[in-house]
Amino acid sequence: MQRGTTPLSPQPTPTSCFRQVQLETGPSPPAPSALAATPTTYTIACAKLCGAVPPQGAKRTKTGASQLLTTPGMSVQDAASRLMEHRNALECKRLDAALPYKPDAWCSLLCAAELHNRYSIIPHSLRYGFDAGIRPISRTFTPANRLSINQFITEFNQLIQVEFQKGRYIGPVSFKETTFLLRAFVTSPFSIIPKPRQPGKYCLIQNLSSPHSPIQSTTSINSAIDSDQYPCTWGTFATICLLISHLPPGSQAMVCDVKEAYRTIPIKPEQWPGLVVCLQEDDQFAIDTHDCFGLASGGGVYGLMGDAGAQIMHFHGIAPLSKWVDNHIF
């Protein structure tokens, strides 16, 4: 699928509104943007829509002042309900993005270790998303995924299903629904490869450096990110080798594997339009709300958490590590 580019006029960034999610009764009216700072009904739309098939051949139908997307056999009310579920899911994620972390526990531990000033951004960013340096999107661009997706389509769908189950993807949504929710957006091509020496395991690769050369004035997500602004100081190969070479005889080492690493880190809502993913060639998309492998700033964004976590463990001690992690980080 190659839709090319769709230019849209730049829109002002919505004002952030940090508040607790409030439960409401009765339906809320449709809104033109999923990122608008207006309260909505709390709905776990991602769970409801997981595995749903998005509408085909969608067309716009006016009803009052709102533009609704309908398909043959779908009523205006059904289309409005579907869009509202997606919009509410995005709004709830915008108001509380902390899953799976506990921001209050991180704040307490940072303060106890006298690290709060150095890492003051962490508790706030865990709730409302980290800045990954993704530029505002003004032109829609949706290149096709790589051929390997079709070759391993079953494995690809299984990996995608996990993302919905974890609450990191919102959708599935059609092209027109995504445009309605986000206005302009960009997808980066997916490919999938078997993991070496791990039979039955596959790695999903998201090429955020594509296109490598501008296409109709459209550049890649990574081209606008200065990775030097997102240093990662906790795990480079050279650093680890230098550290090990200076350790005294008899020293012991421990490796702490944070499952899914980058994928645990929420990204600021205004940067979600740069993280939309194409699921299949039949008009299925999902709005990704988390850091991902392949993002130029991804290592540094997660590295901030890695640095803070290492210093917290050094201060508090790491003997009861598993219990400490369960009670304080996740």
CA distance 127 to 132: 15
Judge whether 20 lies within some domain: no
CA distance 79 to 72: 11
Domain that holds residue 122: 41-49+58-242+257-329
Q: How far is CA 258 from the centre of its chain?
A: 17
141, 218 contact by CB (below 8 A)? yes
Query: In total, how many domains does the chain have?
Result: 1
Judge whether 33 lies within some domain: no
Judge whether 27 lies within some domain: no
CA distance 99 to 265: 9
Tell me how far CA of residue 128 lies from CA of 16, 78, 159, 199, 268, in angstroms. 9, 30, 25, 38, 6
Judge whether 15 lies within some domain: no
Judge whether 13 lies within some domain: no
Judge whether 238 lies within some domain: yes
Per-residue pLDDT of the chain (330 residues; tens, 9 = 90+): 445 555 544 443 333 222 233 333 333 333 333 333 322 222 233 333 333 333 333 333 333 223 445 556 667 787 788 889 999 999 999 988 888 889 999 999 999 999 999 999 999 999 999 999 999 999 999 999 999 999 999 999 999 999 999 999 999 999 999 999 999 999 999 999 998 888 999 999 999 999 999 998 889 999 999 988 998 766 677 878 888 899 999 888 777 667 788 999 999 999 999 999 999 766 899 999 999 989 999 999 999 998 898 888 888 775 544 455 555 455
Judge whether 6 lies within some domain: no
Element of type H or E holding 228: none
102, 328 contact by CB (below 8 A)? yes
DSSP state letters, 109-126: HHHHTT-TTTTTHHHHHH
> Cα dihedral sign for 211, 214, 219, 224?
positive
Judge whether 251 lies within some domain: no
